[in-house]
A and B are shown apart, each in its own frame.
Chain A
Amino acid sequence: MARMTMIEAIRDAMDVKMTQDKRVVVFGEDVGYFGGVFRCTQGLQAKHGKERCFDAPINEGGIVGAAIGMATYGLRPCVEIQFADYVFPAYDQITQEAARMRFRSNGDFTCPLVIRMPTGGGIFGGQCHSQSPEACFTHVAGLKVVIPSNPYDAKGLLISAIEDDDPVIFLEPKRLYNGPFDGHHERKIVPWSQHEFGEVPEGHYNVPLGKAVVRRPGADVTVLAYGTMVHVALAAAQETGIDAEVIDIRTLLPLDLETIEASVAKTGRCVIVHEATQTSGFGAELMAVVQEACFYHLEAPMIRVAGYDAPYPYAQEWAYFPGPDRVGRALREVMEG
Chain B
Amino acid sequence: MTQPGRPRLRVPEPPARPGQSPRFDHIPMSPAGAVGCPPIDVDPADTKPFAYQLIRILDDAGKAVGPWADYLGNVDADVLRRGLRDMMKTRFLDKRMLLAHRQGKTTNYAASTGEEAITCGFQRMLSPGDMNFPTYRQQGLLVASGYPLEKFMGLQFGNDLDPVEGKNLPPMISARDYGYFTISGNLATQYVQSVGWAMASAISGDDKVAAGWIGDGAAAEGDFHSALLYASVYRPPAVLNLINNQWAISSFVGIAGGHVPLACRAHGYGLASIRVDGNDFLAVMAAAKWAIARARQGHGAILIEWVTYRAAAHSTSDDPTVYRPKEEAAAWPLGDPIERLKQHLVAIGEWSDERHAQAQGEVEEEILGLQKLAESHGTMIGGGSAPLSAIFEKVYKDMPEHIRRQRQKAGI
**Residue B175 CB within 8 A of the other chain:** yes
**Residue A61 CB within 8 A of the other chain:** yes
Q: Max chain A CB contacts within 10 Å: which of B182, B186, B223, B403?
A: B182
- Chain A contacts for B199, CB-based, 8 A: 66, 69-70
The segment from A3-11, A51-59, A147-155, A320-328 found at the interface with B is A51-59
The segment from A105-113, A120-128, A241-249 found at the interface with B is A105-113
Shortest Cβ distance from residue A58 to the other chain B in the assembled complex, whole angstroms: 10
- Could you mark each residue 179-210 of chain B with 1 if its beta carbon is under 8 Å from any beta carbon of chain A, else 0? 00110101001001111111111111000001
- Chain A contacts for B400, CB-based, 8 A: 210, 254
CB–CB A61/B192 < 8 A = yes
Please tell me which one of the listed residues A65, A70, A104, A165 contacts residue B397 in the complex, with CB atoms under 8 A apart: A165
- Chain A contacts for B402, CB-based, 8 A: 254-255, 257
**Residue A25 CB within 8 A of the other chain:** yes
CB–CB A69/B194 < 8 A = yes
Shortest Cβ distance from residue A137 to the other chain B in the assembled complex, whole angstroms: 14
CB–CB B196/A69 < 8 A = yes
CB–CB B189/A92 < 8 A = yes
CA distance A48 to B397 in the complex (A): 29
- Could you mark each residue 375-412 of chain B with 1 if its beta carbon is under 8 Å from any beta carbon of chain A, else 0? 00000000000000010001111001111000000000
CB–CB A141/B395 < 8 A = yes
A65-B189, A102-B397, A254-B400 are contacts. A97–B198 as well, Cβ < 8 Å? Answer: no
**Residue A294 CB within 8 A of the other chain:** no
The segment from B226-234, B244-252, B346-354 found at the interface with A is B226-234
CB–CB B189/A96 < 8 A = yes
CB–CB B182/A109 < 8 A = yes
Shortest Cβ distance from residue A163 to the other chain B in the assembled complex, whole angstroms: 11
Shortest Cβ distance from residue A166 to the other chain B in the assembled complex, whole angstroms: 5
- Could you mark each residue 241-280 of chain A with 1 if its beta carbon is under 8 Å from any beta carbon of chain B, else 0? 0000000000000110110000000000000000000000
CB–CB B186/A92 < 8 A = yes
Q: Number of A interface residues at 8 Å Cβ cutoff, please give it.
A: 45
- Chain B contacts for A25, CB-based, 8 A: 203
A62-B192, A62-B226, A108-B163 are contacts. A72–B396 as well, Cβ < 8 Å? Answer: no
CB–CB B189/A69 < 8 A = no
- Chain B contacts for A255, CB-based, 8 A: 402
B187 to A, closest residue via Cβ: A92
CB–CB A102/B394 < 8 A = yes
**Residue B41 CB within 8 A of the other chain:** no
**Residue A38 CB within 8 A of the other chain:** no
- Chain B contacts for A69, CB-based, 8 A: 133, 192-200, 210
**Residue A88 CB within 8 A of the other chain:** no
CA distance A18 to B222 in the complex (A): 31
Shortest Cβ distance from residue B322 to the other chain A in the assembled complex, whole angstroms: 30
B positions within 8 Å CB-CB of A: 131, 133, 163-165, 167-168, 172, 174-176, 181-182, 184, 186, 189, 192-204, 210, 222-223, 225-227, 229-230, 233, 390, 394-397, 400-403
Please name the 10 residue pairs, one residue from A and one from B, whose CB atoms are nearest each other, closest first: A69-B196, A66-B196, A62-B226, A254-B400, A65-B192, A105-B174, A73-B200, A105-B182, A69-B197, A69-B193
- 12 A-B pairs (CB sep. < 8 Å): A57-B229, A62-B192, A65-B195, A66-B193, A69-B195, A70-B199, A72-B197, A73-B131, A92-B223, A105-B164, A109-B182, A258-B401
